[in-house]
Amino acid sequence: MASARIVIVKSRLLAGLRAALGDRHVTTDPERLASVEVDWTRRFRGRALALVRPGTTDEVVATVRACADARIPLVPQGGNTGLVGGGVPHEAVVLSTARLTAVEPATVDGQVTVGAGTTLASVQEHARMAGWAFGVDFAARDSATIGGMVATNAGGVNVLRYGAMRQQVVGLEAVLADGSVISRTSGLLKDNTGYDLAGLLVGSEGTLGVVTRARLRLVPPLPRRAVALLALTDASAAVTLAAELRRRLPSLLAAELFTDAGLRLVLDHARLAPPFATHAPVYLLVECGETEQDPSDSLAAALDAAGFDGDALLEADADARERLWQYRERHTEAINAEGVPHKLDVTLPLDRLAAFLGRVEGVVDAAAPGTRTYLFGHVGDGNVHVNLVGPSSEDEAADDAVLRLVLELGGSISAEHGIGRAKARWLAADRGRPDLAAMRAIKRALDPDGILNPGVLFG
Ligand SMILES: Cc1cc2nc3c(=O)[nH]c(=O)nc-3n(C[C@H](O)[C@H](O)[C@H](O)COP(=O)(O)OP(=O)(O)OC[C@H]3O[C@@H](n4cnc5c(N)ncnc54)[C@H](O)[C@@H]3O)c2cc1C
């Protein structure tokens, strides 16, 4: 009886969605659903009832209302590059933002309004064409969307200079669980009129509303660049040097760390030549940017002043810089090719980062012997990506050991990827009961029936 009722509810829902969006943009074809039912790492899998692709905010409203009326969960999905299983549906309708890609011309004061489905790469290109730049960048730029980046408060390689997504958002338009549209996209830089709803949606991982448009701040372009790859004896030396360069180099844009284990994987996977004649335990990659002057000399001088005397490559030419970045940027795909990874994206206070890096592999080994651990990340922000390959998708013994160590050292269990489903179990331990209760109260107030992305954040 109950299952007959569910079938009727679903078929009514699909009929309603088709009437609102048109047959072409609502599908239940298993072949087309397959790609939205699994995450980028292949660790998280689920089942979608349907995939819908609204092309306007009104169509998003119709989709949300139809799901709310049928009490069927809705999962927003952008580029599906998220790394915490937050966009994977479980008996839910997937709302793809792929058609929400309208971009308005950049304003003279450096802001741009874009549809939630616009990729990071197209925002960067649009900014470039208008004589500006966008302050967020990372390797998934061709697929990650602005909606997903807002929802996860994405970070990337330039956070130490420009901040994460939260700092780029000037205003948002979003559809709430009852179908109402909140919108504040006029670009006011000063606007103290009560609760900052856009700020609340940033990092909400699709649990409070579907972001449909974002107004973003742009930054002045820094066309003169220099990149250095530095070989170091240990993680502690890399952390100290990154901090020194931060103090000495106002032009610093990025400070990224990786270890020799990760580099060897990248060399194999991407068939790249090793950067130096001999391998080193740890590498630091730094980038500086200026408007007019080549920053190579000031970077070299800062390295000297910081007492660095190891192997180094310093490049200002665009192709050569790109070659150096490959050693860092190809880590994620190389690790994915090695196996289905457990990805733990954590931040430590900078004065405890070296201690964490020194202890983490031992902790993993004790919890799950034989696990291969690959460490890389945005060392300038205290942010390390701990990648574990070996344990089955369900075996979380090593994950738990790493997250325990993070909390013991006063860090955060999520730096920039979010909580999703992967870390929902750990949220209370990190944030504490009062924070969690406040978050649940907000969720209940805005989505009392739990339609939007159930299971994400709160488990
Ligand atoms: C190679 C690689 C490198 C990466 N590097 C970085 C990095 O340096 N820094 C970083 O922060 N992340 C990084 N990521 C992770 C990922 O790219 C980001 O989390 C990104 O923000 C996800 O965007 P997306 O469009 O793919 O979102 P999805 O994966 O589709 O969704 C992610 C979450 O956002 C929600 N969501 C998506 N769209 C919307 C919307 N319109 N409204 C409301 N909720 C929505 C989903 O429900 C889900 O919970 C990387 C990923 C890869 C594969």
**d(Cα 178, Cα 181) in Å, to the nearest integer?**
9
- Tell me if 86 CB under 6 Å of ligand 1: yes
- Tell me if 288 CB under 6 Å of ligand 1: no
pLDDT tens by residue, 363-418: 999 999 999 999 999 999 999 999 999 999 999 999 999 999 999 999 999 999 99
- Distance from residue 270's CA to the centre of ligand 1 (Å): 24
- Distance from residue 149's CA to the centre of ligand 1 (Å): 5
H/E stretch holding 426 reads: none
pLDDT tens by residue, 298-345: 999 999 999 999 999 999 999 999 999 999 999 999 999 999 999 999
Q: What percent of the chain has pLDDT over 70?
A: 100
Task: Give the model's pLDDT for residue 6.
Answer: 73
Nearest of 204, 302, 201, 308 to residue 250 by alpha carbon: 302
pLDDT tens by residue, 426-452: 999 999 999 999 999 999 999 999 999
**Averaged pLDDT score across all residues of the chain:** 97
Task: Give the model's pLDDT for residue 2.
Answer: 61
Task: Give the model's pLDDT for residue 1.
Answer: 56
- Tell me if 138 CB under 6 Å of ligand 1: yes
Q: Facing residues of 173 across strands?
A: 183, 213
Task: Give the model's pLDDT for residue 392.
Answer: 96
Band (pLDDT 50/70/90 cuts) for residue 8 is confident
Rounded mean pLDDT, 256-284: 97
Determine the atom of ligand 1 nearest the C-alpha atom of 82: 29
Q: Taking the model in full, what pTM does it have?
A: 0.97
* pLDDT above 60: residue 456: yes
Band (pLDDT 50/70/90 cuts) for residue 5 is confident
**d(Cα 407, Cα 346) in Å, to the nearest integer?**
10
Packing angle of the helix pair 331-338, 318-329 (nearest 10 deg): 40
